[in-house]
Amino acid sequence: MDKNRELFLKAKDLIPGGVNSPVRACKAVGSYPLFLTHGKGAYVWDSNKDKYIDYVCSWGPLILGHSHPRVVSAIQEQAQRALTFGAPTELEIEMAQAIVELMPSIEMIRMVNSGTEATMSALRLARAYTKREKVVKFNGCYHGHVDSLLVEAGSGVATFGIPGCPGVPDSFAGTTISLPYNDLSKVEALFRDRGDQIAAVIVEPIAGNMGVVLPERGFLEGLRELTRRYDSLLIFDEVITGFRVGLGGAQGFFKIDPDITCLGKIIGGGLPVGAYGGRREIMELVSPEGEVYQAGTLSGNPLAMAAGLETIKILREEDPYPRLASLSKALFEGIGELGEKVGIQITVNYHGSMGTLFFGPGPIRSYEEAKGADSVLFGRFYREMRKRGIYLPPSQFEAWFLSTAHGPEEVDFTLKAAKESFERILKEEE
């Protein structure tokens, strides 16, 4: 008996869909989730004691792989001292200092407990600062499950093909205008028409939640210029890209300074975290310095700060980004080429250690184009790979992540599994 399936049946009776976050369900790939028991480096083990190479990496936070010894010690040492106070600690200053040093657009930062809280708070702040209501987002971008941002959203919302979300009042959804990613002319037209109503444009500077989609040259620059011209704010949602594409995030890579930045995932080192920060004159509106209320019992809690700080410290010491990029090139392009050899067309989108293989023709520059990918074929590939010990995100519209614990050996093993999977799929079609 498959223990994973057994646990899934039990879980479904107690937890909606058997999962505490929809993206973990394997519905979209015609399967059921693995119930994992432990992880080490690039590997995870399921309830049958089967071992997998992990390309989910907890959806991004684990850039150092599972249970990095230094991160685990940092958490253990902190746990001996205290779990939480609900009072300030020096660790919070160290965290703020590290982020402010590495991301010059951020002069002040506030810690929260999830990426969702970060984007929700950033929008409240942007609306207060500009005294405007409307927010522009892009189709296929996901910014957490904030009511007003679940419009044409990515991640699980895209995977399950949900256009809006029941329970979100029209009046909330109506404050959001969602436009196609990479289509600057539509943004220009909108600003010409009602630029004076737009509080902010929020964007994933490299999209990771419709699968990986890169910004075309001029798109982010154009957003920066337009928001500045119309006195509206530019918010970069770097919850994935922060410390993933480099120490300075996507803003460092593209050399664009947003007004507000949202962070999460990696800065918690595997513990729950989020943060939003930006220019001083904007951040000074946040309570109790200003009047924009935002709070959290466990915000900046010592365990998450210790894990996040140790993670950032290791990233600064090791600068693993060039090595991650070449490993990721070998992986993504390698699988793309294997597909091409056997006549399975794959569009390979990746940047640094995040990437997606879209089954179908490219280029893929937007959610509209991503939706053209063959999710059924991806589902078959997913199931074949899982049988061969490769744990992928269970959706065509998600990013795969590599960690510093992944190496050429894991990539070779994965390429071999991909080759066998393609052969198996083609054989079934005969």
Catalytic residues: 142, 237, 265
Q: Pick from 142, 168, 169: which is nearest to 156 by CA?
A: 142
Binding to ligand PLP by residue 182, rule CB under 6 A? Answer: no
Q: Pick from 336, 247, 236: which is nearest to 276 by CA?
A: 236
Binding to ligand PLP by residue 105, rule CB under 6 A? Answer: no
Per DSSP bridges, beta strands 36-40 and 43-46 are: antiparallel
Give the C-alpha separation, 354 to 126, whole Å: 29
Residue with smaller CB distance to ligand PLP, 381 or 401: 401
Binding to ligand PLP by residue 115, rule CB under 6 A? Answer: yes
Output the smallest distance, CB 250 to ligand PLP, in A: 11
Binding to ligand PLP by residue 209, rule CB under 6 A? Answer: yes
Among 46, 204, 310, 410, binds ligand PLP (CB under 6 A): 204
Give the C-alpha separation, 401 to 206, whole Å: 14
* Residue 158: strand, helix, or coil: helix
Residues linked to residue 4 through DSSP beta bridges, in sequence order: none
Q: Pick from 157, 212, 160, 203: which is nearest to 400 by CA?
A: 212
Piece of the chain touching ligand PLP by CB under 6 A; list 76-84, 111-119, 225-233, 303-311: 111-119
Output the smallest distance, CB 62 to ligand PLP, in A: 13
Residue with smaller CB distance to ligand PLP, 240 or 338: 240
Contacts of 31 (CB under 8 A, 6+ apart): 379, 382, 383, 386, 394
Piece of the chain touching ligand PLP by CB under 6 A; list 157-165, 201-209, 299-307, 344-352: 201-209
Binding to ligand PLP by residue 142, rule CB under 6 A? Answer: yes
Among 68, 110, 143, 365, binds ligand PLP (CB under 6 A): 143
Piece of the chain touching ligand PLP by CB under 6 A; list 76-84, 140-148, 163-171, 387-395: 140-148
Q: Pick from 253, 285, 307, 310: which is nearest to 108 by CA?
A: 285
Piece of the chain touching ligand PLP by CB under 6 A; list 12-20, 100-108, 203-211, 220-228: 203-211
Binding to ligand PLP by residue 398, rule CB under 6 A? Answer: no
Q: Which of residues 327-386 bind ligand PLP (CB under 6 A)?
A: none
Give the C-alpha separation, 414 to 402, whole Å: 12
Ramachandran bin of 53, using left for φ above 0, alpha for ψ from -120 to 50, beta for the remaining angles: beta
Q: Pick from 21, 89, 145, 105: which is nearest to 300 by CA?
A: 89
Output the smallest distance, CB 430 to ligand PLP, in A: 40
Binding to ligand PLP by residue 116, rule CB under 6 A? Answer: yes
Residues of this chain that bind ligand PLP (CB under 6 A): 114-116, 119, 142-144, 204, 208-209, 237, 239-240, 264, 274
